[in-house]
Amino acid sequence: VTTTLGKRTAGGPEEGVDGLEAIMRHGGRRLREVMVRTELHLERVTSGAGPPLASHANATVTAGGKRLRPLLVVLAAESAGGPPAGADGEERLVRAAVAVELVHSATLVHDDLIDGAQLRRGNPTVAAVAGRQIAVATGDLLFSRAFAELARNEDAAQLCALSDASSALAAGELLQREDAYAPDVAVERYLHRCELKTAALFEAACRLGALTAADGSAAVADGLGAFARRIGLAFQMLDDVLDVSGPVERTGKARGTDLLDGTVTLPLILARERDRSLAAFDLASLDGPRQAEALCERIAATGALDEARERALAVVAKAKAALPSILPGGRSLLLDLVADSVVERYR
């Protein structure tokens, strides 16, 4: 098994995410073993889904991916005292980690369909390869398998946490469509969208981890949930910066992909405040990747990317600052490193 954590499949984007490798080193053998079990379980769930969708579901899940959300599940559980002793405790933890990654994968398949994206994790998207119907059905399958896995943990609180995140995701995607091509998206509204479509699943990851722990209290679940929410928010803000700044070799998708499909992200919002000609620019007039790339250059020239990055870093700093009070006694080291790795990805 190659765990793809911090080490994308050959030729894929983001090879060697240093921050995540550092976490695996610090986490030692036990962390590695749980992540490998998660990987095997994911593979088993998707390949066992039956034709005609299993191949697309399996290809999506095995194409790479940082496995950041399952890692959060596992680290949150460890920070909250670890799973109960015995094989079943760890089994429950792995199921929760798998369920979160399956929901994430489902949303990516649907997101790429909605966004009209051609590339994901360096490969053609399901929508591009197999069309709309198959992409809808593959995403649905991944969603349903996620909840089937989690149901086996027989804990309504876990199901509610994942269901809340899935509902938020759907609302976030709708909000994004509503605001597509809009000339006047407010920063607050943008942040709210990021909370819904990204931060909510990060929060669920840490909540699920805490809920599978032997002595994870509600207070720890809330605290870790709030930590993860901030990390998720910063992660999306930085992902949006990368869409404008990043070359395809790094991101696995063309530069300016968000702008091309009308998504108004923080860099553009801030650039519009700084440059009047950009304020008047209509995203709907963008015609092809070359023009999108030129718009990226104009946004970068305003200094908006630096400001967006700084805002995201401030959110990460806040998340880190709150950790010691949630997890006293130095139990937060690995989560601290996750926070760093989110920033590291964009250096």
Query: What part of residues 308-337 is at the interface with ligand IPE (CB under 6 A)?
Result: none
Closest separation in Å from C-beta 105 to ligand IPE: 8
Complex with ligand IPE: residue 65 or 225, whichever CB lies closer: 65
The interface partner of residue 68, options being Mg ion, ligand IPE, none and the CB cut-off 5 to 8 Å by kind, is ligand IPE
Residue 123, SS3? strand
Complex with Mg ion: residue 38 or 198, whichever CB lies closer: 198
* CB of 91 closer than 8 Å to CB of 101: no
Sole window of 78-86, 115-123, 184-192, 297-305 interacting with ligand IPE (rule: CB under 6 A): 115-123
φ/ψ region of 303 (left if φ > 0, alpha if ψ in -120 to 50, else beta) reads left
**60 burial type by CB count under 10 A (0-12 exposed, 13-18 middle, 19+ buried):** buried
Query: What part of residues 237-276 is at the interface with ligand IPE (CB under 6 A)?
Result: 239, 243
Among the listed residues 60, 123, 236, 341, the single contact to ligand IPE using CB under 6 A: 236
Map 253-314 to HEC letters: CCCCHHHHCCCCCHHHHHHHHHCHHHHCCCHHHCCCHHHHHHHHHHHHHCCHHHHHHHHHHH
Half-sphere exposure of 45 (CA within 13 A, CB side): 29
Complex with ligand IPE: residue 200 or 327, whichever CB lies closer: 200
Complex with ligand IPE: residue 31 or 108, whichever CB lies closer: 108
In the shown chain, the binding pattern of residues 8 to 47 toward ligand IPE, with x for contact by CB under 6 A and - for none, equals ----------------------------------------
Complex with ligand IPE: residue 68 or 185, whichever CB lies closer: 68
In the shown chain, the binding pattern of residues 82 to 111 toward ligand IPE, with x for contact by CB under 6 A and - for none, equals -------------------------x---x
Instruction: For Cα atoms 92, 44, 133, give the angle at the middle one, nearest 5 degrees.
Output: 110
Rg (CA), the chain: 19
The tokens of 180 are what? 């597509």
Return residues touching ligand IPE (CB under 6 A).
65-66, 68, 107, 111, 115, 117, 121, 169, 197-198, 236, 239, 243
